[in-house]
Amino acid sequence: MKQFKRCGVVLAAMMAWGGAGSVRAELPLAELGAGMYRIEAEVAHTAQTRQLGLMNRQAMPVHRGMVFVFPEAATHCMWMKNTLLPLSVAFVDAKGRVTNIEDMQPQTEDNHCAAAPARFALEMNLGWFRERGIKAGDSLRGFDRLPPPR
């Protein structure tokens, strides 16, 4: 994997989190922050990468996640179709403030929606936000450096 460049967005090398023979296409990586915690987030900023999300992955490192960059602030919703990992999603407004956090169970089609207009959604392993005391109203860092949506 290429070196992770601090405080910026870089291209990640091919990643194989999904198990033997399952290789993901290259996605930009961004460094985000939540309190004293550093997050390495794959950036889903195109319609195709937002639609695919974390589907079919079997594992994800503890401080790794995926950030979805939406074209506009809205009450976006997420679901877990074909997603094997239990996840928590933080919906984040344009200023980097968490609007709400939802826990999502694998392989379900339940909608998990932003409580207020959100420009971003950050998916992490289930319970990641709760275990670190991160809640609605908290500010996260690094969203201003994400690539624009396409």
Nearest to 90 by CA among 115, 123, 137: 123
7-53 pLDDT, tens digit each? 333 333 233 334 333 335 579 999 999 999 999 999 999 999 999 99
Only one residue has tokens 């344009």, namely 94
* Cα–Cα distance, 84 to 52 (Å, whole number): 13
Token output for 60:
């994800």
* Cα–Cα distance, 119 to 26 (Å, whole number): 23
Sorted by where each begins, the domain ranges of the chain are 56-150
One CATH from 3.30.200.20, 2.60.320.10, 2.60.120.1140, 1.10.530.10 for 56-150: 2.60.120.1140
Residue 145 phi/psi, 5° resolution? -100, 5
**Given this model, what pLDDT does residue 26 score?**
79
